[in-house]
Amino acid sequence: MSRIATDNELGGEKAAQALAQLGVKGKVLVISVDPGISSVDARIAGFNKKAATLGMKLVSKAQYSHNQPATAAQIVSAALAKDPDLKGVFATNLFSAQGVATGIRQAGKSGKVKVVGFDAGPDQIKQLKAGQVQALVAQKPYDIGQQGVKQAVAALTGGKVTANIGTTSLVITKANLNQPAVKKYIYKASC
């Protein structure tokens, strides 16, 4: 009766803004899972649109790791060989970010090439704390769950149900990681 989901295009825009706030201008790369997945396709579209307005230039169309960290590492290694002045990478999911971090480290470019990942699960938070990624765009499962309960109650009691609800996302960095307003959006592996 109601679809409650993250505005993924806006999330992609926030990824571009996060790279810009990290001082990234110039060449950037997007590494994603697979083409045809609507949520990550929207993230890429939002990133591409916003990056162009922030002084970033895509070195290629989005590259796909097929959810394989080793493939993401190979992609970023090849990109760095072709464009040693690559400044930033947007990794649209956990496995892409893991591989990107590995490829950047192997190329000796840690800290020089900035990485923004997507989602805020336990593994992503570990990457952030370790400095392997510099920012994460987090969906807001707390808000999604809260809206889900409200819409379910409305549906069961004859109230007004909203057909589509888009939720926002937020950027998590080491600097704001422990703020209560941010902490509630870090995904939990268990309760």
What is the average pLDDT across 154-164? 96
What is the average pLDDT across 47-54? 97
Is residue 155 one of the residues assigned to a domain? no
Q: Quick one: tokens of 79?
A: 């990109």
Is residue 100 one of the residues assigned to a domain? yes
Is residue 112 one of the residues assigned to a domain? yes
- Find the largest Cα–Cα distance for the chain: 60
Is residue 53 one of the residues assigned to a domain? yes
Per-residue pLDDT reduced to its tens digit, 84-141: 999 999 999 989 999 999 999 999 999 899 999 999 988 889 999 999 999 999 999 8
pLDDT at 157 over 90: yes
Is residue 99 one of the residues assigned to a domain? yes
Please give the tally of structural domains in the chain: 1
Please give the pLDDT value at position 56.
98
Is residue 154 one of the residues assigned to a domain? no
Listed in order, strand segments (DSSP E) in the chain are 3-6, 26-32, 56-58, 63-64, 88-91, 114-118, 135-138, 164-167, 170-172
CATH of the domain at 114: 3.40.50.2300
- Look up the pTM and report it: 0.92
User: CB under 8 Å to 116, separation ≥6 — which residues?
Assistant: 15, 18, 19, 22, 88, 89, 90, 91, 133, 134, 135, 136, 137
Sign for the pseudo-dihedral over CA of 116, 122, 128, 133:
negative
| 22: containing domain | 7-139+168-183
Is residue 153 one of the residues assigned to a domain? no
Is residue 157 one of the residues assigned to a domain? no
